[in-house]
Amino acid sequence: MQASNVLNLGIKELRSLARDPMLLALIVYSFTLAIYTAATAIPETLNKAAIAIVDEDRSPLSARIVGAFYPPFFLPPVLITPAEMDARMDAGLDTFALDIPPNFQRDVLAGRQPAIQLNVDATRMTQAFSGSGYIQQIVSGEVGAFVQRYRGEQALPVDLALRVRFNPEMNKGWFGSVIEVINQVTMLSIILTGAALIREREHGTIEHLLVMPVTPVEIMVGKIWSMALVVLVACAVSLVFVVQGLLAVPIGGSVALFLAGAALHLFATTSMGIFLGTVARSMPQFGMLLILVMVPLQMLSGGMTPRESMPTLVQDVMLAAPTTHFVTLAQAILYRGAGLDVVWPQFLALLGIGAALFSLSLARFRKAINQMS
């Protein structure tokens, strides 16, 4: 393998990419608007939930309960009649419908423990699960304050001191932006390398390379380093100007160390893109294969759901995926400020997985070239 051939082949790939406006637009979108949207469009677990209340008591206590629901957790309550409750729930207008029965205040003061009916639209799973708990706390708090004639909290025998680390504001945008950067690095590295190979096959330029004094490994390495460089530069620019600049997300660790880990991850994922490019015969086939590969890589790598909550079999199988180790080192570096002494196992794992994927892709690439020649 000659370094000059690898360099020239990589430059050729960069020039081909520069003449493809669709891929360029995809790169710009993925590392700008997609990251901004992922950071700002993530709602709270309970955010502006629609609630309707049937107030059959019309008492001061029921009025206190009605006035206790307000944004941002709930929309202002809509007062409805009992006949409207089922129809509004069926139409999807309300997530919660609270029915305060007649003589509710009188029964509370008499100690009869009256019941309040809460109807929940369980198809809105996240809001239904957390919102019902919020409503129970709100109603119990208002009833307790009304009965005791004052608002106060019971003193606990133990003082729990809460310390929120790495995200003191508990801002979901901080999490969403960094995870989206990780996802875009994986997705674009596979797309660019696979598309580069398929584009040459469709345009017939792969046959031109076969008659030149270059080897399959030089062709493959040229595609890998050029596409990896594009993604790495775009990732670095996005971290500085979008994540840290526009979104004001603090980075806890070294960006350079993260980019070094990203380079190892790109070594593995670009090899994976070459492999998928040799399997697929056209861009539509490549797109279908990409969906089958990207969904488990993103969903099961630990970026969206902690790996500890997954079945043991899934955890063991996903250790063979480069995204699992990349997500671990990226979160450790960018969130918690970890150094190389903490993330070196992930670096070694990415190096081993990348070498295995490179060898597998090279064997497949040579086989595909031999079939063309």
> What CATH number was assigned to the domain covering residues 51-148?
3.40.1710.10
Asked whether residue 331 carries a pLDDT value surpassing 80, the answer given is yes
pLDDT digits (tens, 9 = 90+) for 262-314: 999 999 999 999 999 888 888 888 888 998 999 888 888 888 778 888 889 99
Q: What is the pLDDT at residue 155?
A: 66
What does the alpha-carbon distance between residue 107 and residue 98 come to, in Å, rounded to a whole number? 18
Confidence class of residue 42 from pLDDT cuts 50, 70 and 90?
low
CA dihedral 351, 356, 361, 367 (to 10 degrees): 150
Count Cβ atoms below 10 Å from residue 260 Cβ, excluding itself: 17
- Over pLDDT 90: what percentage of the chain? 46
Q: What is the pLDDT at residue 62?
A: 92
**Two structure tokens written together for 53:** 């209340």
Helix/strand/coil for 295: helix
8 Å CB contact between 38 and 176: yes
Distances, alpha carbon 146 to alpha carbons 56, 62, 108, 134, 320, in Å:
18, 10, 10, 18, 59
What does the alpha-carbon distance between residue 285 and residue 272 come to, in Å, rounded to a whole number? 15
Average pLDDT over residues 132-145: 89
For 249, which DSSP code? P
Q: Hey, which residues does 98 pair with through a beta bridge?
A: 53, 118
**What is the DSSP secondary-structure string of 42-106?**
---SS-SB-EEEEESS-SHHHHHHHHT--TTTBPPPEE--HHHHHHHHHTT--SEEEEEPTTHHH
pTM of the model: 0.78
Domain locations in the chain as residue ranges: 3-41+167-372, 51-148
* Average pLDDT score, the chain: 88
Percent helix / strand / coil, the chain, rounded to 5: 65, 5, 30
Q: What is the pLDDT at residue 307?
A: 85
Distances, alpha carbon 365 to alpha carbons 192, 219, 274, 368, in Å:
16, 10, 8, 5
Q: What is the pLDDT at residue 34?
A: 92
Q: What is the pLDDT at residue 358?
A: 94
What is the chain's Cα-based Rg? 28
Asked whether residue 44 carries a pLDDT value surpassing 70, the answer given is no
Contacts of 168 (CB under 8 A, 6+ apart): none
Beta strands at 78-79 and 51-55: parallel, antiparallel or unpaired? parallel
What does the alpha-carbon distance between residue 191 and residue 187 come to, in Å, rounded to a whole number? 6
Average pLDDT over residues 86-107: 91
Contacts of 36 (CB under 8 A, 6+ apart): 177, 242, 246, 247
Between 327 and 305, the more confident residue is: 327
Asked whether residue 156 carries a pLDDT value surpassing 80, the answer given is no
Strands (E) located in the chain = 51-55, 78-79, 96-100, 117-120
Q: What is the pLDDT at residue 164?
A: 78
**What is the DSSP secondary-structure string of 6-53?**
HHHHHHHHHHHHHT-HHHHHHHHHHTTHHHHHHHHS---SS-SB-EEE
pLDDT digits (tens, 9 = 90+) for 186-201: 999 999 999 888 888 7
Average pLDDT over residues 3-9: 87
Q: Which of 34-48, 294-308, 345-359 has the highest mean pLDDT?
A: 345-359
Q: What is the pLDDT at residue 265?
A: 96
Q: Which of these ranges, 6-10, 204-208, 222-226, has the smallest mean pLDDT? A: 204-208
pLDDT digits (tens, 9 = 90+) for 218-269: 888 999 999 999 999 999 999 999 999 998 888 888 999 999 999 999 999 9
Asked whether residue 3 carries a pLDDT value surpassing 70, the answer given is yes
Asked whether residue 23 carries a pLDDT value surpassing 60, the answer given is yes
Confidence class of residue 212 from pLDDT cuts 50, 70 and 90?
confident
